Amino acid sequence: TKDVITAMCVPFGTVRDVDLPMDFKTGVSKGFAFVTFESSDDAHEALYNLEESELYGRTLNVRWSTNNKDFNEKTEAIWKGEKWLKEHGGG
């Protein structure tokens, strides 16, 4: 849960946010989380100390995550444009 992830990370610094993605169909956690710290130094400490530690019998793989610029920008579906429709039989 978010509370468990937060409690695990708090010893290393102030946690600003925890995002725990869930499977849309089952409502069950996908098995990973994104944790945002107030400072990058705190994030470094957490990464250094939590990598390959265990949580409920599972080994943690702690990695840096960056914003995906392409994903976060406003985009339109590729099939919305005339070119795609002409090339794929829609127009």
| 12-70 confidence digits (pLDDT tens) | 999 999 999 999 889 898 989 999 999 999 999 999 999 999 999 999 999 988 765 55
pLDDT band at 4 (very low <50, low <70, confident <90, very high): very high
Closest CA to 65 of 38, 41, 33: 33
Q: 3-state DSSP call for residue 25?
A: coil
Q: How many Cα atoms sit within 13 Å of 72 on the Cβ side?
A: 4
Q: How far apart are CA 34 and CA 17, in angstroms?
A: 8
The whole-number pLDDT of residue 80 equals 65
Q: How far apart are CA 36 and CA 18, in angstroms?
A: 6
Q: How far apart are CA 29 and CA 31, in angstroms?
A: 5
